[in-house]
């Protein structure tokens, strides 16, 4: 039987395929469900029962298990694509109905509830013990690569990591052109526990110059992936961006736009849904511009061209609405400097900037942006490497200017609605000894951090939102003449420990090291100086901590520089 993957949240009421009055999802019989599964390999079945029932009582082969009662379904539903049929199933139908209604309320248009649930399912069932993941030809734990550039002076490199040290990961990558049509055949990926694969698009895929985005579908959600694109053959500049697992469900936030003094800003957008969308850009100047994004299509946007005829020097941020089901990224550059971040719908009240570098060779820039309609207050917290909180000078009187001066740690400063706190850290009058900083906000904010060389030849950046976690990876280790640097921050006031493990692409452990980390302490080092043994055969590093940590890595290869958060 063809393998399904993602969701089994089928409701169990009635028989046959029919639309129940008052419901936006459809209730179908077991017979019709089996027909859909057999005839359409894109169908996703989700079993919403407990893991015990799913594993020991038996489930539909290759169905995904997302427990409704535990809240797992509601926390992970964004892993489900919007543009394929989703069949939900439970034991008798009630939980399946709730799950189907939940998806309907969150914009899913092809939702089905299997009538009667597993209690009346007359066809094949399988237990977890007897199921072989390799038998499932359809896998739906997805990771998206929202922009691919190969040819015409560019190349893209991607990496996929199996973050489970216990189980294998199998899946496939499909490539799509700008209209959403598949380019060439899919590529199978099979990774051992802790395995990693890296590939360049040009030598690997058919018609690489036509590819605009990729989707990886895997057998497990224990996946990390990232993409890097760079000028080729020059190898002067490069940008690295994490590949998202989740699809945006709310308005997308663009916290920084620059189109003056030689800088340019570009966007890459992918519509993962089967419906045409009209996106509305609302800029800080209150101007609005619409963009049509057809179903499954990709569109690259140079904002200077998109906004031709407008006062570009006054535009510095934007909100994109009607973006449910849209993914994307933002790139900005100047000469040989290139940086970028994912375009997300997420905000936080705690932004982290885990390394401040200001000297003759390096500068650090930061952005905090309030996308809301109400003003808020920020508290700036600069720390030493040892975790001591420093107190900068008192703030200047808040003004309508974009640039704000930092406040004392205990003294809030204002950030207006749709306003930014932005600048090079050298201009923010931070106290001597500042090695990293945090911003606490009274309102939800977005933001990111940049590093650049003072000679204007290198630039790298990463988001400051949601980068604290108990575990993560530094996805590429570059030893010797090229280099990798990593930073880890204890976000709590209590001592913790963190274990770093260096792995090869084959998933072989090269070395591991457990380190203590005091409250708010920073570790900043080249990886080879952290471990006791030689790690030259390692290609990436994983970490696990006893409390949330913030992490990032920076890589330099020749003239190219890039940075990634360590999640």
Q: What is the DSSP string of 168-182?
A: -EEEEEEEE-TTS-B
- Give how far Cα 376 sits from Cα of 405, 417, 420, Å: 15, 7, 11
- Give how far Cα 297 sits from Cα of 147, 300, 542, Å: 12, 10, 35
pLDDT band of residue 140 (cuts 50, 70, 90) is low
State residue 199 phi and psi, 5-degree precision.
-150, 150
For the segment 436-461, the average pLDDT, to the nearest whole number, is 95
pLDDT recorded at residue 315: 97
Which fold is adopted by the domain 141-242? Hypothetical Protein Tm1070; Chain: A (2.60.290)
> Which of 2.60.290.11, 3.20.20.390, 2.60.40.180, 3.40.640.10 is the CATH number of 348-463?
2.60.290.11
Average pLDDT, the chain: 89
Query: Quick one: DSSP state of residue 252?
Result: E
Average the pLDDT over each of 62-66, 178-182, 185-189, 544-548 and give the range with the smallest value.
185-189
Domain with CATH 3.40.250.10 in the chain: 8-135
Q: Quick one: CA torsion of 123, 124, 127, 131, rounded to 10 degrees?
A: -150
How far is the C-alpha of 116 from the C-alpha of 458, rounded, in Å? 60
Can you say how many angstroms the Cα of residue 376 is from the centroid of all Cα atoms in its chain? 26
Proportion of the chain above pLDDT 90, given as a percent: 74
Which pLDDT tens digit goes with each residue over 10-31? 333 232 333 343 457 999 999 9
pLDDT recorded at residue 84: 78
- Give how far Cα 88 sits from Cα of 119, 250, 442, Å: 14, 24, 39
pLDDT recorded at residue 133: 62
pLDDT recorded at residue 398: 37
Which pLDDT tens digit goes with each residue over 104-114? 888 888 999 99
pLDDT recorded at residue 134: 53
Average the pLDDT over each of 151-160, 186-195, 283-292, 532-541 and give the range with the smallest value.
186-195
Structure-token match 């699809």, residue found: 247
- Does the domain formed by 8-135 have CATH 3.40.50.700? no
How far is the C-alpha of 75 from the C-alpha of 71, rounded, in Å? 6
Say yes or no to pLDDT of 38 above 60.
yes
Query: Which has more confidence, 40 or 281?
Result: 281
As assigned by CATH, the class of the 468-565 domain is mainly beta
Say yes or no to pLDDT of 245 above 80.
yes
> Which of 2.60.290, 1.10.530, 3.30.465, 3.30.70 is the CATH number of 252-342?
2.60.290
Domain with CATH 2.60.290.11 in the chain: 141-242, 348-463, 468-565
Say yes or no to pLDDT of 365 above 80.
yes
Q: Are 542 and 473 in contact (CB under 8 A)?
A: yes
- In 3D space, the residue among 200, 14, 34 whose CA is nearest the CA of residue 96 turns out to be 14
Say yes or no to pLDDT of 401 above 90.
no
3-state secondary structure of 57: helix
Which pLDDT tens digit goes with each residue over 325-351? 999 999 999 999 999 999 999 999 999
Query: Which has more confidence, 282 or 36?
Result: 282
Q: What is the pTM of this model?
A: 0.76
State residue 102 phi and psi, 5-degree precision.
-60, -45
- In 3D space, the residue among 28, 52, 15, 223 whose CA is nearest the CA of residue 112 turns out to be 28
Q: Are 263 and 304 in contact (CB under 8 A)?
A: no
Dihedral of alpha carbons 45, 50, 53, 54, sign: positive
Q: Are 227 and 239 in contact (CB under 8 A)?
A: no
Q: Are 153 and 50 in contact (CB under 8 A)?
A: no
pLDDT band of residue 385 (cuts 50, 70, 90) is very high
């Amino acid at each position: 039987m063809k393998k399904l993957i993602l969701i089994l949240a089928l409701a169990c009421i009635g028989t046959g395929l029919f639309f129940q009055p008052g419901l936006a999802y459809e209730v179908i019989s077991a017979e019709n469900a089996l027909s859909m599964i057999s005839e359409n390999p894109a169908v996703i079945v989700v079993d919403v029962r407990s893991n015990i029932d799913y594993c020991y009582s038996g489930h539909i082969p290759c169905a995904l298990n997302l427990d409704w009662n535990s809240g797992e379904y509601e926390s992970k539903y964004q892993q489900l694509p919007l543009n394929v049929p989703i069949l939900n199933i439970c034991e008798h139908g009630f939980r399946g109905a709730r799950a189907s209604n939940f998806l309907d309320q969150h914009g899913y248009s092809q939702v089905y509830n299997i009538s009667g649930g597993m209690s009346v399912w007359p066809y094949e069932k399988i237990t977890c013990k007897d199921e072989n993941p390799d038998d499932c030809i359809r896998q739906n734990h997805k990771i998206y690569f929202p922009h691919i550039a190969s040819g015409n002076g560019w190349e893209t490199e991607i990496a996929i990591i199996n973050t489970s040290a216990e189980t294998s990961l199998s899946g496939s990558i499909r490539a799509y052109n700008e209209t959403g049509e598949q380019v060439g055949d899919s590529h199978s990926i099979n990774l051992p526990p802790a395995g990693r694969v890296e590939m360049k698009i040009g030598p690997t895929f058919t018609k690489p110059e036509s590819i605009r985005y990729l989707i990886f579908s895997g057998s497990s959600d224990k996946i990390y992936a990232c993409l890097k694109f760079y000028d080729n053959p020059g190898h002067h500049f490069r940008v690295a961006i994490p590949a998202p697992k989740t699809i945006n469900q709310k308005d997308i936030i663009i916290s920084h736009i620059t189109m003056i003094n030689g800088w340019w800003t570009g966007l890459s957008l992918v519509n993962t849904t089967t419906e045409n969308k009209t996106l509305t850009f609302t800029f800080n100047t209150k101007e609005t511009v619409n963009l049509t994004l057809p179903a499954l299509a990709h569109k690259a946007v140079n904002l200077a061209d998109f906004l031709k005829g407008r006062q570009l020097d006054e535009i510095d941020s934007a909100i994109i609405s009607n973006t449910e089901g849209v993914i994307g990224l933002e790139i900005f550059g100047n000469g040989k400097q290139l940086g970028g971040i994912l375009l997300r719908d997420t905000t936080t009240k705690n932004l982290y900037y885990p390394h401040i570098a200001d000297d003759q060779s390096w500068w650090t820039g930061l952005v905090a942006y309030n996308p809301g309609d109400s003003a808020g207050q920020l508290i700036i917290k600069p720390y030493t490497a040892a975790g001591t909180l420093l107190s900068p000078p008192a703030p200047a009187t808040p003004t309508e200017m974009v640039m704000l001066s930092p406040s004392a740690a205990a003294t809030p400063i204002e950030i207006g609605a749709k306003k930014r706190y932005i600048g090079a850290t050298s201009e923010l009058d931070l106290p001597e000894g500042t090695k990293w900083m945090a911003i606490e906000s009274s309102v939800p904010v977005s933001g990111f951090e940049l590093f650049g060389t003072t000679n204007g030849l290198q630039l790298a950046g990463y988001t400051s939102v949601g980068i604290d976690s108990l575990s993560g990876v530094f996805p590429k280790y570059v030893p010797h003449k090229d280099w990798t640097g990593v930073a880890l921050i204890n976000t709590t006031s209590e001592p913790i420990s963190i274990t770093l493990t260096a792995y090869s692409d084959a998933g072989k452990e090269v070395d591991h090291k457990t380190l203590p980390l005091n409250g708010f302490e920073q570790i900043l080092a080249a990886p080879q100086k952290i471990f006791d043994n030689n790690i030259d055969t390692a290609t990436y590093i994983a970490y696990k901590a006893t409390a949330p940590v913030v992490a990032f890595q920076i890589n330099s290869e020749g003239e190219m520089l890039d940075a990634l958060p360590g999640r």
